[in-house]
Amino acid sequence: MNRIMLTLALLATTVAGFAQTDRINPYPKTITVNGSAEMEVIPDEIYVQVDLKEYQNKNQPKVTIDKIRQDFLANTKALGIPDSAITIAAYDGYNGNPWLRKKNKKTELLASITYQVKLKSSHQMDDLVNVLDDDATQNFAITGTSYSKLTELRKKLKIEAVRAAKEKAQYLAAAIDEQLGAAVTITEPQEYNPPVMYMRANASFKAAGSDDTAAAIDFRKVKYRFEVSVVFALR
């Protein structure tokens, strides 16, 4: 009986010893630092929305939506804008709706179409504005911007943020006579992208018969910033 009790006691002591070993912190001394990286780029993907509508000048036949569409697509092609960069965002063909004609007390309503166009620069956008039909154009608006090499930029900045964190940890550890060990954890960087700002002096289109053009639009650079938190072991 005593021998059995002794064996159980030894077994319990061994198990407790293993449990204590498992609870030992392999990194008793660590340092946590933040690193960041940022870069400014000029947007090279500009999305604009163009609203076109049928119109009829005094004593003139109505300019149909088909004619307006043909002219618009011909002009964009002449500017070197590919068909793949142009999509239809909305289309309203009112002419065949008798309820709308009755409601508005008109024998015929005017059809409209909305295009979304992806451009490469503000200069290309200015060129597009200059060839728009002023009578047909109801609205011209910037709906969004982007950077074509954003995936590569994100990767580059994340790597630079981690390297900046390591450099900071090294000189902070040296200040207390410690050496930097392995990285224990790396927290995924957070991205901070402020909205793209642009300046436009005049939003009006050319008046009929006038040579005045819409004012140029200048885009400010977009700043992409990443911050990372890294925990390093000290030795």
Amino acid 179 reads Q
pLDDT of residue 206: 42
Distance between CA atoms of residues 130 and 144, nearest Å: 20
pLDDT of residue 94: 59
158, two tokens: 């994340």
pLDDT of residue 2: 54
Average confidence (pLDDT) per 10 residues, the chain, 235 residues: 52 51 79 94 92 92 94 96 95 61 59 95 92 95 90 93 96 96 88 50 36 52 89 95
* pTM (2 d.p.): 0.64
Domains and CATH numbers, the chain: 25-42+148-235 (3.30.110.170), 45-146 (3.30.70)
How is 74-129 classified by DSSP, letter by letter? HHHHHTT--GGGEEEEEEE-GGG-HHHHHHTT-S-PPPEEEEEEEES-HHHHHHHH
Three-state DSSP at 161 gives helix
13, two tokens: 């002591």
Distance between CA atoms of residues 221 and 210, nearest Å: 33
pLDDT of residue 194: 53
Distance between CA atoms of residues 176 and 193, nearest Å: 36
Distance between CA atoms of residues 152 and 106, nearest Å: 55
pLDDT of residue 118: 96
